[in-house]
Amino acid sequence: MAERNILKRGDPTLNKHCRPVTEFNDRFHTLLDDMRQTLAKSGGVGLAAPQVGVLRRAVIVLETNVEEGEEEYMIELVNPEIIEQDGEQVGAEGCLSIPGEFGVVKRPQHVKVKAQDRDGNWFEVEGEGLTARAFCHELDHLEGTLFVDRASRMLTEEELKELGISEDAD
């Protein structure tokens, strides 16, 4: 496993549409392993393949809604699609590719996603709150869409301070 470099806004790769994953081979598993390590190191809650320069439909989301005493865990979503969504949440959102900036983005409160795992098996997974936001945010990356394209406005420096977010936070 190796940590990979996260592309930053301005890199044209981040604005491109990603192609489906068709080969669930060792090379692809290495990509996912590297993405896991990169996400763990970053302190973020999600990472999409295009952020590490690979234009394929694969993302990793950290499930943070766990019972007390249980560990947060990463969910790998390959060729994911949102098949159900409901509710609404309006809140601050950031991105590892746009460090230090946060915007107000409206997302569904709950989503159900259909995806393949790293071996190509289809499954469904549901996300609530922050996890639903992360699913939507990461799937947007696969279409070349960044949260700044959806934000109603960006947070001011004052607001970032109130939230306790420092300039160099992810």
Query: Applying CB under 5 A, does 52 fall inside the site for Ni ion?
Result: no
Nearer to Ni ion, 78 or 98 (CB): 98
Short-list 6, 14, 11, CA closest to 144 = 14
x/- track of binding to Ni ion for residues 86-115 (CB under 5 A):
---------x--------------------
Short-list 124, 123, 134, 127, CA closest to 111 = 127
76 in active site: no
Pairwise CA distance, residues 93 & 118, whole Å: 27
> At closest approach, how far in Å is the CB of 88 from Ni ion?
20
Q: How far is CA 36 from CA 17, 73, 146, in A?
A: 22, 10, 20
Number of residues engaging Ni ion in binding (CB under 5 A): 1
Judge residue 23's burial from the number of C-beta atoms within 10 Å of its C-beta, 0-12 exposed, 13-18 middle, 19 or more buried.
exposed
Name the active-site residue from 71, 124, 138, 158: 138
Nearer to Ni ion, 68 or 152 (CB): 152
Which residues carry out catalysis? 138
Binding region for Ni ion (CB under 5 A): 95
